[in-house]
């Protein structure tokens, strides 16, 4: 195996495979190495449906080797250190590799330790997460007999910011079908300020929440979990508020602790674990060293080129981009990175292709219903012009459910990972 590559990619997930495939399609002579330890590749967007019993988990799993593009060297190992000053990447067992150009796209990692009490209960009993074990989520829903069904997310950035509420809508619909909805409180608690950042879609979602009697609590940041008592504590995080009040006769049985903490009993809990950049990224000079984006890769939000190391480009979940961390975002980011990198290789100066922040969050709101929420930087609606002429994507649509369940997986496996979309 070579120890020096013209282009070295770290990560064989959505971003890494898509970039490698697009690069090879544009120039088969490129010498590319791809560092990825996992043998399996997962289509994670379908895990929401798996958690609601509407998709087979096995259908989300494929062999990684079947998607490594021809002519790309698969370095089946884990990156442990990046030294951008000497253009070197160290791995766990295969030694060091040097590069002319580096594309670090390892995604992010689950870090449940950041929320006290979560590690002890995650994916056990009545605590579940589609982010880690969607099959267990489905078991929890099937066993649920009523009480407080709590859905929440952490204060850290997370992949697919809409996923914590997607499973909430699906679960609520399932409880109706199962006949336990009348004795259930469905709570969606988020550290965020609104149900969704794009006003056109938020309007529809707020109406759904109202019509289906879902309890929505913004400014609720989870701070600890007591697995034995089945209690989760939230901190009321509204700026400028020095105390929190609980309405009399609250159906959840919320209990105020001190001025800002609220304790809630749960009979089931679905949670997105806290998420961070991998440790080797956080500890590398390529990450932002201080401030709000600390630990995430420091790239120009339009060109995908690193702000301080011009021979490094990155996209996807590990970057500090002010848009949602989704596969749909990667689909729009990858061609920009590829074109700008190839121009740099050929002309000595990076291209000026620009990414405008597009991301998409297909929000399933029940069995057979979905909103296709597409947007760009600054939470501006950015719906596909063709789809928009056919359907109103700000409303629940059966056609969009079919797109989610059948169209998007096909697009992913057969076009996107092959460098064709």
DSSP per residue, 276-342: E--HHHHTSTTB--SSTTTTSB-B-TTT-BBSS-TTBB--GGGB--SS-B-HHHHHHHHHHHHHHHH
Residue that has been written with the tokens 């988020």 in this structure: 190
What's the pLDDT score for residue 149?
98
Residues 269 and 176 in one domain: yes
Residues 236 and 299 in one domain: no
Q: Which residues are catalytic?
A: 160, 361
Which one, of 334, 296, 287, lies nearest residue 318 by Cα? 296
127 φ/ψ angles, rounded to the nearest 5 degrees: -105, 125
Tell how many helices (H) and how many strands (E) occur in the chain: 11, 22
Task: Enter the DSSP assignment of 109.
Answer: E
Residues present in the chain in total = 421
Residue 412 lies inside a defined structural domain of this protein: no
Q: Which two tokens stand for residue 377?
A: 């930087």
Residues 87 and 173 in one domain: no
Residues 16 and 165 in one domain: no
H-helix or E-strand spanning residue 9: strand 4-10
State pTM to two decimals: 0.96
What's the pLDDT score for residue 169?
98
Residue 419 lies inside a defined structural domain of this protein: no
What's the pLDDT score for residue 411?
97
Q: At which of 240, 255, 274 does a domain end?
A: 274
Residue 366 lies inside a defined structural domain of this protein: no
Residues 65 and 124 in one domain: no
What's the pLDDT score for residue 235?
96
Residues 270 and 330 in one domain: no
Residue 132 lies inside a defined structural domain of this protein: yes
Query: What dihedral angle (degrees, nearest 10) is formed by the CA atoms of 290, 291, 292, 293?
Result: -30
For residue 132, the domain's CATH number is 3.50.50.60
What's the pLDDT score for residue 122?
98
Q: At which of 328, 352, 376 does a domain end?
A: 352
How many other CB atoms are found less than 10 A from the CB of residue 54? Answer: 18
How far apart CA 418 and CA 409 sit, in angstroms, is 13
Residues 125 and 174 in one domain: yes
What's the pLDDT score for residue 1?
74
- The pLDDT tens digits for 126-150 are 999 999 999 999 999 999 999 999 9
Task: Domain of residue 64: give its range.
Answer: 4-108+277-352
Residues 61 and 78 in one domain: yes
What's the pLDDT score for residue 245?
77
356-369 burial, b if ≥16 CB within 10 A, otherwise e? ebbbbbbbbbbbeb
**pLDDT > 70: what percent of the chain?**
100
Residue 385 lies inside a defined structural domain of this protein: no
Angle at 218 between CA 175 and CA 227, to 5 degrees: 60
Q: Which two tokens stand for residue 256?
A: 């105020």
How far apart CA 355 and CA 371 sit, in angstroms, is 24
Residues 143 and 270 in one domain: yes
Residue 323 lies inside a defined structural domain of this protein: yes
How far apart CA 58 and CA 50 sit, in angstroms, is 10
Cα 302 to the chain's mean position, in Å? 20
Place 6 in a pLDDT band, splitting at 50, 70 and 90.
Answer: very high
Q: How many domains does the chain have?
A: 2
- The pLDDT tens digits for 367-394 are 999 999 999 999 999 988 888 788 899 9
Q: At which of 274, 301, 320 does a domain end?
A: 274
Q: Which two tokens stand for residue 277?
A: 């950049």
Residues 69 and 121 in one domain: no
Residue 161 lies inside a defined structural domain of this protein: yes
Residues 155 and 263 in one domain: yes
Residues 144 and 195 in one domain: yes
How far apart CA 95 and CA 37 sit, in angstroms, is 14
- Residue 357, pLDDT > 90, answer yes
How far apart CA 374 and CA 5 sit, in angstroms, is 37
DSSP per residue, 288-301: --SSTTTTSB-B-T
- The pLDDT tens digits for 214-255 are 999 999 999 999 999 999 999 999 988 888 877 667 889 999
Whole-number average pLDDT of the chain: 96
- C-beta of residue 11 within 8 angstroms of C-beta of residue 337: no
Which one, of 372, 375, 419, lies nearest residue 400 by Cα? 372
Residue 414 lies inside a defined structural domain of this protein: no
């Amino acid at each position: 195996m070579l120890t020096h590559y013209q282009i070295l990619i770290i990560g064989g997930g959505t971003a890494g495979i898509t970039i490698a495939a697009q690069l090879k399609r544009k120039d088969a002579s490129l010498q590319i190495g791809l560092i990825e330890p996992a043998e399996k590749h997962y289509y994670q967007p379908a895990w929401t449906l798996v958690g609601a019993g509407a998709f087979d988990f096995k259908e989300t799993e494929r062999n990684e080797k079947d998607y490594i593009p021809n002519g790309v060297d698969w370095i089946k190992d884990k990156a442990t250190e990046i030294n951008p000053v000497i253009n070197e990447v160290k791995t766990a067992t295969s030694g060091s590799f040097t590069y002319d150009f580096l594309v670090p796209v390892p995604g992010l990692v689950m870090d449940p330790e950041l929320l006290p009490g979560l590690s002890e209960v995650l994916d056990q009993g009545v605590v579940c997460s589609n982010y880690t074990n969607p099959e267990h989520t489905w078991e929890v829903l099937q066993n649920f007999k009523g009480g407080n069904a709590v859905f929440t997310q952490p204060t850290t950035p997370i992949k697919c910011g809409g996923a914590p509420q997607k499973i909430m809508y699906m679960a609520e619909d399932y409880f109706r079908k199962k006949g336990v909805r009348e004795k259930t409180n469905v709570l969606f608690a988020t550290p965020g300020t609104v149900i969704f950042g794009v006003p056109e879609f938020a309007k529809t979602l707020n109406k759904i929440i109202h019509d289906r009697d879902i309890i929505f609590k913004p400014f609720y940041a989870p701070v600890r979990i007591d697995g034995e008592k089945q209690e989760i504590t939230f901190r009321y995080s509204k700026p400028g508020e020095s105390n929190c009040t609980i309405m009399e006769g609250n159906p959840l049985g919320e209990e105020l602790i001190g001025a800002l903490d609220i304790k809630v009993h749960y009979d089931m809990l679905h949670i997105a674990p806290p998420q961070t950049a991998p440790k080797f990224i956080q500890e590398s000079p390529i990450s932002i060293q201080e401030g709000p984006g600390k630990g995430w890769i420091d790239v120009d939000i339009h060109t995908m080129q690193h702000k301080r190391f011009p021979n490094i480009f990155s996209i996807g979940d590990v970057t500090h981009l002010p848009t949602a961390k989704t596969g749909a975002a990667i689909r729009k980011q990858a061609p920009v990175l590829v074109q700008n990198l190839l121009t740099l290789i050929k002309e000595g100066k990076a291209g000026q292709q620009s990414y405008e922040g597009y991301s998409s969050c297909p929000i399933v709101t029940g069995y057979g219903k979905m909103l296709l929420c597409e947007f760009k930087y600054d939470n501006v609606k950015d719906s596909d012009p063709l789809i928009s002429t056919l359907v109103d994507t700000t409303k629940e649509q059966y056609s969009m459910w079919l797109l989610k369940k059948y169209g998007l997986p096909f697009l992913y496996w057969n076009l996107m990972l092959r460098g064709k979309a």
